[in-house]
């Protein structure tokens, strides 16, 4: 028909119009036709119509949701014209619909199968027109739902021709729903509706990994294997399609514990994990900040950390986003219960509160707690079980390959601006820095930079910088070697000054006893290096005082070239209590520098 003017009216059959059609007289239009309604010069709306004998000719009836969407009032005159769909471009391939209870106060907590809902939707609204932003009402399982069309993707034209799909997805504003259209329901924000099945929320289909993230520019040197293990254990289930995770009955990991020597990258890794995930800004908490002098405040601080996650899970259920909480120095608040000397027992109640929040009666499935400590032996055992801090990862000292990565990261700026001399070989530096932690390697770079800058400072009556030479500043190999020998010493490396003092004048092989000790010592060192069956070899040197036992032990240790050599001597424990003596011996005999990936797991100490 040509464009004609008709008068808007109230729908005579059903004010909610569950068929989503405009209603007209049989004399005006036939059921199934599509019309364009022009309300103002710049506003057009497309409807599918159905005829009904009660409608007065010359009028077109709309339901309440339709009038609300199109801004129509009863009695308003509108221009009506035929609308023909181009089925090669306007058939709906996928339609994303926001859904909520029509009555907002409805508190029905039973889950609704989105797959059955999508099938019912196609049956009710097949061959009807839909527009982005359109509002309508949908009946399912004797419940009424309010729907809003959020996005429409056109069907690939090759599918309509019976050919293989090309995979192209084109957004359109107006589309025609057909039998093989895909319907995806997205739960409205703040809705109490619970959806299950595959045809549910876009949010669940989005990856949790930040799309702008580049794994190659993480800035974590020497921890590739550890990060790979953490990703496999903690994030694989979150990255995988949620419907498959539901079918497997898989639960997400809620806690990660990173432990190891100071300066090895625990905090850095936790910070990078927070940046990597497409989640909210992580809450970073230092352990001692939780404690408060007032009764009950420490426990309240723990509850506040989880309050946002609890509120969102109650509101959105499975659609809740991921909340990350990072505890630095976890051992400060999670010591073994029952061991505190304080009569208040505040540490015990803080641990109890944390246990109940991570994996208590009311479980939260939208949290990831990352704890960091260099004293895992102090942490309460209940926190370490699966379901709480399930993933325990030792962040050890970097191996030689890792040290090259770390040095490369910290010298990248200098290389970019040509401030690193050509004689600097990072592989050589990595070979010379056994048992250096990541923080110590960073300190080594800073020390070399300060040495290079100091060459261009004039220390006269005033401190001035030679600007002409400063423009040609370069950090060279000698700067690194000088800092390596004088400024930065590894906390868990060899104590060369101690054992070298015992063999200052060398060893005089005055007879067979000395030669036998040195030969047997070399044999035992080789056994320790090469045999997996004898990881611990103990040797006792006996003899009268001042016969050279300590010197021979120091010589054997030096020749072994083990990266970890420590001395336990009684003259260093004078005035110490029994407890402090035990702690000193424990620190020496339990080297934190152990790293099973390389030969740096070999150690030597002597008493």
Report the pLDDT averaged over residues 516-540. 82
In angstroms, the CA 65 to CA 10 distance is 11
In angstroms, the CA 555 to CA 536 distance is 19
Q: In degrees rounded to 5, what are phi and psi of residue 219?
A: 75, 20
Prediction pTM value: 0.60
pLDDT band at 592 (very low <50, low <70, confident <90, very high): very low
Neighbours of 278 (CB within 10 A): 14
Most confident of 54-63, 474-483, 572-581: 474-483
pLDDT band at 425 (very low <50, low <70, confident <90, very high): very high
The lowest-confidence range among 145-149, 263-267, 398-402, 534-538 is 534-538
DSSP labels for 555-590?
Answer: HHHHHHT-SEEEE--GGGSTT--HHHHHHHHHHHHS
Neighbours of 81 (CB within 10 A): 13
pLDDT band at 476 (very low <50, low <70, confident <90, very high): very high
pLDDT value of residue 596: 39
Average pLDDT, whole number, for the chain? 79
pLDDT value of residue 212: 57
Report the pLDDT averaged over residues 222-251. 75
For the range 229-232, what are the long-range contacts, defined as Cβ-Cβ under 8 Å and sequence gap of 24 or more? 229/393, 230/256, 230/269, 230/273, 230/391, 230/393
pLDDT value of residue 21: 83
Cβ within 8 Å of residue 287, ≥6 positions away: 327, 328, 329, 330, 331, 332, 333, 334
In this model, does residue 274 exceed pLDDT 80?
no
Q: In degrees rounded to 5, what are phi and psi of residue 97?
A: -125, 130
SS3 assignment, position 223: coil
Question: What is the per-residue pLDDT across 75-133, written as a single tens digit (0 to 9) for each?
Answer: 888 888 888 888 778 888 888 888 888 876 666 667 888 888 888 888 888 888 888 88
Cβ within 8 Å of residue 83, ≥6 positions away: 34, 35, 36, 46, 129
Report the pLDDT averaged over residues 200-212. 52
pLDDT value of residue 211: 57
In this model, does residue 2 exceed pLDDT 50?
yes
In this model, does residue 204 exceed pLDDT 70?
no
Report the pLDDT averaged over residues 277-292. 78
Neighbours of 605 (CB within 10 A): 17
In this model, does residue 325 exceed pLDDT 70?
yes
Report the pLDDT averaged over residues 210-219. 57
């Amino acid at each position: 028909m040509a464009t004609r003017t008709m008068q808007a009216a109230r729908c005579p059959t059903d004010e909610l119009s569950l068929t989503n059609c405009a209603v007209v007289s049989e004399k005006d239009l036939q059921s199934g036709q599509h019309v364009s309604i022009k309300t103002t010069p710049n506003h057009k709306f497309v409807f599918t119509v159905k005829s009904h004998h009660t409608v007065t000719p010359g009028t077109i009836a709309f339901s309440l949701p339709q009038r609300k969407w199109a801004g129509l009032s009863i009695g308003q005159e509108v221009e009506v014209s035929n609308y023909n769909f181009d089925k090669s471009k306007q058939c709906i391939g996928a339609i994303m619909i926001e859904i909520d209870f029509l009555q907002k106060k409805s508190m029905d907590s039973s889950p609704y199968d989105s797959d059955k809902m999508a099938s019912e939707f196609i049956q009710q609204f097949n061959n009807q027109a839909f527009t982005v932003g359109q509002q309508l009402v949908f009946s399912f399982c004797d419940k009424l739902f309010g729907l809003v069309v959020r996005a429409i993707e056109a069907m690939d034209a090759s599918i309509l021709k019976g050919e293989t799909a090309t995979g192209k997805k084109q957004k359109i504003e107006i589309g025609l729903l057909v039998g093989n259209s895909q319907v995806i329901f997205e739960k409205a924000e703040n809705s109490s509706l619970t959806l299950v099945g595959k045809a549910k929320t876009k949010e669940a289909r989005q990856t949790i990994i930040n799309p702008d993230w580049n794994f190659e520019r993480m800035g974590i040197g020497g921890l590739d294997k550890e990060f790979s293990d953490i990703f496999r254990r903690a994030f694989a289930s979150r990255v995988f399609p949620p419907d498959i995770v539901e079918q497997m009955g898989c639960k997400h990991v809620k806690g990660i514990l990173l432990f190891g020597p100071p300066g090895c990258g625990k905090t850095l890794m936790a910070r990078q994990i927070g940046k990597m995930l497409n989640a909210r800004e992580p809450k970073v908490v230092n352990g001692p900040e939780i404690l408060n002098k007032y009764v009950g405040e420490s426990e309240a601080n723990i509850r506040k950390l989880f309050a946002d996650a609890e509120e969102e899970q109650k509101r959105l259920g499975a659609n809740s986003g991921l909340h990350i909480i990072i505890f630095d120095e976890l051992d400060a608040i999670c010591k073994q219960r029952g061991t505190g000397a304080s009569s208040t027992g505040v540490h015990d109640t803080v641990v109890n509160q944390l246990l109940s929040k991570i994996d208590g009666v009311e479980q939260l499935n939208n949290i990831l707690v990352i704890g960091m400590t260099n004293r895992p032996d102090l942490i309460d055992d209940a926190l370490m079980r699966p379901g709480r801090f399930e993933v325990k990862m030792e962040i050890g000292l970097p191996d030689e390959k890792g040290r090259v990565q770390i040095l490369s990261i910290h010298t990248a700026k200098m290389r970019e601006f040509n401030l690193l001399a050509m004689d600097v070989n990072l592989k050589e530096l990595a070979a010379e820095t056994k048992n250096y932690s990541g923080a110590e390697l960073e300190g080594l770079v800073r020390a070399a930079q300060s040495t290079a800058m100091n060459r261009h400072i004039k220390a006269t009556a005033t401190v001035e910088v030679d600007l002409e030479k400063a423009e040609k500043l370069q950090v060279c190999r000698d700067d690194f070697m000088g800092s390596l020998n004088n400024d930065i010493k590894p906390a868990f490396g060899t104590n060369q000054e101690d054992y070298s003092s015992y063999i200052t004048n060398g060893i005089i092989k005055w007879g067979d006893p000395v030669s036998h000790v040195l030969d047997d010592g070399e044999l035992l060192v080789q056994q320790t290096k090469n045999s997996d069956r004898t990881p611990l070899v103990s040797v006792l040197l006996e003899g009268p005082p001042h016969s050279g036992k300590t010197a021979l032990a120091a010589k054997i240790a030096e020749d072994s070239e083990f990266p970890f050599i420590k001395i336990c001597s009684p003259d260093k424990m004078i005035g110490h209590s029994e407890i402090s003596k035990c702690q000193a011996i424990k620190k020496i005999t339990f080297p934190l520098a152990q790293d099973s990936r390389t030969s740096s797991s070999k150690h030597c100490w002597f008493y």
